[in-house]
Every structure is written in structure tokens, then in C-alpha cells.
Amino acid sequence: MPLDLFSKTPIPDALPKEMQKIINEIKKSLNKAECLNKVYEILISKYRGYHIKTYLKLFDVFKHDIGLLWNKNGFLHCTNINYVMRTLLIKSDFFTEDDIRLKWTQIWYISPHQYIQVKVDDRWVDIDIWAYAYGIKFGDHSQGFH
């Protein structure tokens, strides 16, 4: 099974009960833009990136148990956060896999970093939950020393 490093980890059929409650709420969104904004707000309040923990918890990048990831708060690797986000977006029924792209960049020009692009109507929106704590907002992504 791919581990979301360079390809998309399959979205699971079974989800944690609390995650399903959130999905039931975001399904009430009026459109894709509202759904994406709701998911973004939920995840920036739940997860964040830490440069040092990225290296100290390196092997956590290979975890893909959605229940384990959902039950955590605070630090998650960018790939794990993006997997949770993809799961919420796709399970909302507003988005499909074709609406979500995995993208790569370099932080400090040496550290690989994944963010996602989400298609809303006719435009692609950059989403980088991991980097929100470092000042990266909705519609942007971390890069270089940015």
C-alpha cells in the first residue's frame, strides 16, 4: 500500500466515529468552497507542523492508520495531515481524487515538503495545513525560506 509519500494512500471505507461525525457536518456545506473552508478550519485547529519534530519523529511519516492519525492533536507530518484532509474532502462527497493533487516543494531549500492543491470550480487552491503555524495561510504553501 502506498504511504502518501509520492502517491495517494487509498481512502479507507471504515472511519473513526468522531471523524464520521465531522464528515456528517461538513456534508451540510452549500458548495465545494464552503466545504474546503470548513475542513481547513477544523484541521488548522487540530494539527500543526514543527520543523524539529519532522526529524525527531521521522518514522511516523509511514503511519497511515486513519484512526491513529485522527485521534492525535498537535504535530503530524505534512503527508499525514494531507491524508486526513483528503479523507475528509472525499468523504464529504463534494470532492473526488481528481480534485486533489499532491504537490512537493522544499523548505529551507533542503527539506522535502508535501502540500496539496484542491480544485474548486475552475481554479486550484494551495492548502498547507502543516505550515499554517509558520504563517502560511489558506491559498499558499511553504517554500524555500517563505
- Indicate the domain borders of the chain: 17-134
How much is the pLDDT for 112?
84
Say how many CA atoms lie within 13 Å of 80 toward its Cβ. 26
| Residue pair 69/83 in contact by the 8 Å Cβ criterion | yes
Residue 132 has pLDDT above 80, yes or no: yes
How much is the pLDDT for 2?
42
Residue 62 has pLDDT above 60, yes or no: yes
Averaged confidence pLDDT in the chain: 89
- Place 143 in a pLDDT band, splitting at 50, 70 and 90: confident
- As a whole number of angstroms, the distance between CA 97 and CA 10 comes to 10
* E strand spans, the chain: 47-48, 74-75, 100-107, 111-120, 123-127
To the question of pTM greater than 0.75 for the whole model, the response is yes
- As a whole number of angstroms, the distance between CA 115 and CA 129 comes to 8
Residue 55 has pLDDT above 70, yes or no: no
| Secondary structure of 105-136 as H, E, C letters | EEECCCEEEEEEEEEECCEEEEECCCCHHHCC
Q: What are the tens digits of pLDDT across the range 81-130?
A: 999 999 999 999 999 999 999 998 876 556 788 999 999 999 999 999 99
Q: What is the DSSP letter of 60?
A: G
